[in-house]
């Protein structure tokens, strides 16, 4: 992608737009949003770490309790 195309895409980024809307509505401050972002990143990294350390599922039971109409 070109830099111009990426710039257009970034203007439509829902996370960036929600961030701006929250600030404009006065719901949270920039500092509160940064803290929230940090907390969520830590949760995601902890979940990734948990998944990496978890054993692979048993191939015999892999599809148990899976509903697919």
Burial class (CB in 10 A: 0-12, 13-18, 19+), 45: exposed
pLDDT digits over 11-66, tens only?
A: 899 999 999 999 999 999 999 999 999 999 999 999 999 999 999 989 999 888 88
Q: Does the structure show a pLDDT above 90 at 1?
A: no
22 in Cβ contact with 33 (< 8 Å): yes
Q: Is the pTM of this model over 0.85?
A: no
Question: How many Cα neighbours within 13 Å face the side chain of 21?
Answer: 7
pLDDT at 14: 94
Q: What is the DSSP letter of 14?
A: H
pLDDT at 67: 86
**From residue 34, how far is each of 4, 8, 24, 41, 51 by CA, in Å?**
27, 24, 15, 10, 26
């Amino acid at each position: 992608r070109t830099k111009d195309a990426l710039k257009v895409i970034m203007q439509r980024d829902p996370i960036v737009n929600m961030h701006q809307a929250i600030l404009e509505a006065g719901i949270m401050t920039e500092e509160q949003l940064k803290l929230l972002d940090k907390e969520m990143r830590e949760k995601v990294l902890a979940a990734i770490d948990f998944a990496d350390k978890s054993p692979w599922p048993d191939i015999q039971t892999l599809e148990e309790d899976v509903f697919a109409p």
